[in-house]
Chain A
Amino acid sequence: MRDEIAAIFEQVLGRPVAITDETDIVEDLGMDSLGVMNFVMAIEDFYDLSIPLDRVAQIQTVADLIQAVNDLRNEAAA
């Protein structure tokens, strides 16, 4: 899943990125609020889900993002 997310980052940022679970999406990747929004929407398209704004606000690292996507998928399946 981290590889999928890395590919989406590259697609949105237009440059290769190296990420780990600890990568801070805003600080380490230099994304502004518009970049974050475009990135979140690309993630949403890819995994066919919507991440509510309060959850977006809680996501800081790649690990947080993976957790959020997994939680939302589980909720949808439940």
Chain B
Amino acid sequence: MTILAKHAAYRLAYDALLAHGVDPLNVRFDSILSPTEGVLNGTKTILLGTNNYLGLTFDEDCIEKAVEATREQGTGTTGSRVANGTYGGHAQLESEIADFYGRKHAMVFSTGYQANLGVLSTLVGRGDHLMLDADSHASIYDGSRLGMAEVIRFRHNNPDDLYKRLRRLEGAPGDRLIVVEGIYSMLGDTAPLKEFAHVKRETGAYLLVDEAHSLGVLGETGRGLAEAAGVEADVDFIVGTFSKSLGSVGGFCVSDNPDFDLLKIVCRPYMFTASLPPGVIASTIEALRKLRAEPKLRHDLMRNATRLYDGLGAMGFQTGPEANPIVAVTMPDQGTAGVFWKMLLEAGLYINLAIPPATPTNASLLRLSVSAAHSVQQIDQALDIFADVGRKLGFLPSDRRRAAGAL
């Protein structure tokens, strides 16, 4: 019995997976060859679960800028911007993000996780009301616990349920902040943002959208779901990350709020952690430039996403509600999901195994994420591997349907 014995239930769940020979937390790549390929136990493996939406991790220009900045300014800032000051790159990145979103202000954090911690714990405080979608990302839940606001959870993607809860608060003092995500990270479903914006207007609440998985993915110019839904004017704060479509690491928040600069002196997850190193900032600035200059990346991404989503659906796999770069295949149970995942890996396909409690509705999922950098051949190869493993495990729904029909 050690101090960690209190987490024994997690050990049990993990051991159950290990008993199937499945160890999703111990995937060690020998090397990474490109945004879409790595080497695993000596085998070339297609990467189809890395959120590398625009495939910019190996972009020559991004690498060049990172190397250049590292040579000129060093490997790290060795402290926060409050303590060690702002480098030119930090300020430039903030002004370019603000410009991209057409907003007055932007603020860069060291990760997207910290952006949510910082913003959610600061925008609302004691006596305020924070309205969270039940399927919110861990960083949103954790941000809600760092602050002092009352936290109310509404049913996933359900504007009516949100409205009902805001109406119950009628007459109570304090600000209301609604938090939703552009694309939900597990099932790839989008928020009904027009309807949420309507509720926001109706009730006088503020609206924050986390575009972590939709930046560079949705919208005419890649600004995300708010742009795609045509409701940017209703969104008071946008949070996002550099760790997915921009291929680096870091988080941000943009807004037109006239007091935005206050965040930089009250937001603890901004003030008490080291700022991003120059190399990361430089590659991010270049990646954002590519995102803006090359809409083809987004089109290639959606072509691949649709091909994968349609292909899996046609085979009879149960996928999420819409074709997006995140494609989730629902498995009947955790054991099957684990074995399926392991067989895909052995066949040269890396995806994510997503099991409770990390998934909504306690489903066990095979979670795939597509990149603009995947070739059509790689998508087809992934589909072939899926079909093959599905047949080997004897549960391709078409087979089951045939079996059921025979009864």
Residues of A within 8 A of B (CB): 32-34, 37, 41, 48-50, 52-54, 76
By beta carbon, the residue of chain A nearest B150 is: A52
B window 154-177: CB within 8 A of A: 155, 165, 168-169
The 20 sampled A-B contact pairs (Cβ below 8 Å) are: A32-B356, A32-B362, A33-B357, A34-B356, A34-B361, A34-B362, A37-B134, A37-B153, A41-B155, A49-B168, A50-B165, A52-B150, A52-B151, A52-B152, A53-B144, A53-B151, A53-B152, A53-B153, A54-B151, A76-B168
A53 to B148 CA separation, bound complex (whole angstroms): 12
Q: A32-B362, A37-B134 are in contact. Are A50 and B152 (CB under 8 A)?
A: yes
Count how many pairs of residues, one from A and one from B, have CB atoms less than 8 Å apart in the complex. 25
Interface of A, secondary structure class, is helix
Residues on B lying within 8 angstroms of A by beta carbon are 134, 144, 150-153, 155, 165, 168-169, 356-357, 361-362
- Chain A residues with Cβ below 8 Å from B169 are 50
The residue of chain A having its C-beta at the shortest distance from the C-beta of B359 within the complex is A34
Q: Contacts of B151 on A, CB cut-off 8 Å? A: 52-54
* A48 partner, pick from B152, B168, B362, beta carbons under 8 A: B168
Cβ of B152: which chain A residues have Cβ within 8 Å of it?
50, 52-53
By a CB distance below 8 angstroms, the chain B residues around A54 are: 150-151
**Closest residue to B169 on the A side, CB-wise?**
A50
Nearest first, the 4 A-B pairs at minimum CB distance are: A53-B151, A52-B150, A50-B152, A34-B362
B245 CB to closest chain A CB, in angstroms?
30
Q: Across the two chains, which residue of chain A brings its CB closest to B152?
A: A50
CB proximity of A32 to chain B, nearest CB, Å? 7
Separation of A34 and B169 alpha carbons in the complex (Å): 25
Min Cβ gap B121→A in Å is: 14
Contacts of B356 in A (CB 8 A): 32, 34
Give the residue name and chain of the B residue nearest to A51 (CB). Answer: B152
How far is it, in angstroms, between the C-alpha of A3 and the C-alpha of B155 when the chains are bound?
Answer: 25
Known contacts A34-B361, A76-B168; 12 further A-B pairs (Cβ under 8 A): A32-B356, A33-B357, A34-B356, A41-B155, A48-B168, A49-B168, A50-B168, A52-B152, A53-B144, A53-B151, A53-B153, A54-B151
